[in-house]
Amino acid sequence: MIKLDLTKVSAFAALCFMSLGGFSQEKTEAFPFKLPKEKPNRPLSASMERSYDVYGATPQDNELYSQFKYTEIKGLDYSNHDGTITRRDPSKVIFKNGKYYVWYTYRNTKTPPVGGRNAHLATDEIPSADWDLCEIWYATSKDGFTWEEQGVAVPRPPKPNVGWRSVTTTDILEWKGKYYLYYQGFMEASGKRGDDCPVAVSWADSPDGPWTPYNKVVIPNGKPGEWDQYSIHDPYPLVHNGKIYLYYKSDSNGQPDLIRMHGLAIADNPLGPFKKHPLNPISSSGHETTMFPFKEGIASIVIRDGNEHNTIQYAEDGVNFKVASITEFLPNAAGPFIPDAFTDTQNGRGITWGICHFTAVNGWKTNHAILARFDCDLSQDVNDLDMKKNHVYLKPEFFYKMGLNGKQKKRIEEENKRLQN
């Protein structure tokens, strides 16, 4: 029996294949020095295929790539950052009556929060989480940098109405001349079981109120065992395809392996009924929800959690999102200024700024959040190359702050001992 040495056979076969121009390597020119702006007609590696098919020849050619710049906003007091006042989870920004409006979670309590894990220590005056015992307040601005707080928009309703413990994490919808604020309605201190709540809504004829609570759950939790059974967070309405597309987050899986994913619920009427999309969760990644109409679809700023965090994504149908760019230092809980958020546009122009938040700004003992302004170029109408550089320079001290923990140091010490013995 003839034993074939497969290594020799495969080498011979490869030689024949190559000589017949199998990969036609000798026929194909090397990749050119000047990067072609359009996809060249030649064999490309997977990475170069993606570069042309998904992102654009370079980040600067990608309308959905941007870096983010941040500015401290003026006009809001935080009681010397002692943890008794928080402002967080801002809504989208709208422009009406000659000024900008933003709504947000507002807490003003005698003490800083004890933490969701210590929810058993919370009382009617002591908050568990930073967003416990909160109301929805709002502020206005002429320039988006200096804000004037106007006061409460949606107070906590009396027991047993939805949100009696805390109303938080709101967003705004303008629909047929009326205004709607959707928000998380807590019925117990966050952290008791988990960060559990449904979504409620109030409406008004003016962005300055007065706001009338619907006093019913408008986006219900999922059924037992469903991915969104405990929490409906970050309600985020846009008008798309003639309907209200309300995106939201849920916390699934449970501690200690909590995961965040996004869902979509659609309605013809701001007070519902909202129908959850059968493809939910429509995003495997992200934390707070930040979407905006872009061209004929919807774009999304996907932060913090999940396989595809730190990306900008796009869904032509508003449902099936794909990564459009990868970036860094994305804004948390971003509420962009979106002029065409409610116009049912078929050619969304994109965004250039908004309000976001920074949490635990003074450590966990005085845990509170602050609002800030972010700027970017995710707009068809702006081409700001200073927002589309490839990286941000950071001093070594920034990286040294993310040092090894005790467990990691011990592992390394043991590795060293093993090598040295």
Assess 181 for contact with ligand AAL (CB under 6 A).
Answer: no
3-state class of 86 per DSSP? Answer: strand
Assess 333 for contact with ligand AAL (CB under 6 A).
Answer: yes
Smallest separation, CB 332 to ligand AAL (Å) = 7
Assess 377 for contact with ligand AAL (CB under 6 A).
Answer: no
Do residues 55 and 62 make contact, with C-beta atoms less than 8 angstroms apart? yes
Nearer to ligand AAL, 162 or 333 (CB): 333
The residues that bridge with 310 in the sheet, in sequence order, are none
Smallest separation, CB 186 to ligand AAL (Å) = 8
Assess 168 for contact with ligand AAL (CB under 6 A).
Answer: yes
Query: What is the residue type of 370?
Result: I
Do residues 302 and 310 make contact, with C-beta atoms less than 8 angstroms apart? yes
The rounded distance, in Å, linking the Cα atoms of 168 and 198 is 11
Smallest separation, CB 307 to ligand AAL (Å) = 19
Residue with tokens 């983010």: 68
Question: For ligand AAL, how many residues bind (rule: CB under 6 A)?
Answer: 12
Smallest separation, CB 289 to ligand AAL (Å) = 8
Smallest separation, CB 218 to ligand AAL (Å) = 17
Nearer to ligand AAL, 165 or 388 (CB): 165
**DSSP string across 309-367:** -SEEEEETTSSS-EEEEE-SSPPTT-EEB-TTTTTT-SSEEEEEEEEEEE-SBTBSTT-
The rounded distance, in Å, linking the Cα atoms of 26 and 17 is 12
- 12 Cβ contact partners less than 8 Å away, ≥ 6 residues apart: none
Q: Which of 67, 128, 166, 169 binds ligand AAL (CB under 6 A)?
A: 169
Residue numbers 89-118 binding ligand AAL by CB under 6 A: 89
- Nearest-CB residue for ligand AAL: 169
User: What does the per-residue mask of binding to ligand AAL show for 44-83, with x meaning CB under 6 A?
Assistant: ----------------------------------------
Q: What is the DSSP letter of 407?
A: H
Using CB under 6 A as the criterion, which residues of the chain lie in contact with ligand AAL when the complex forms?
A: 89, 131, 168-169, 184, 195, 233-234, 249, 287-288, 333
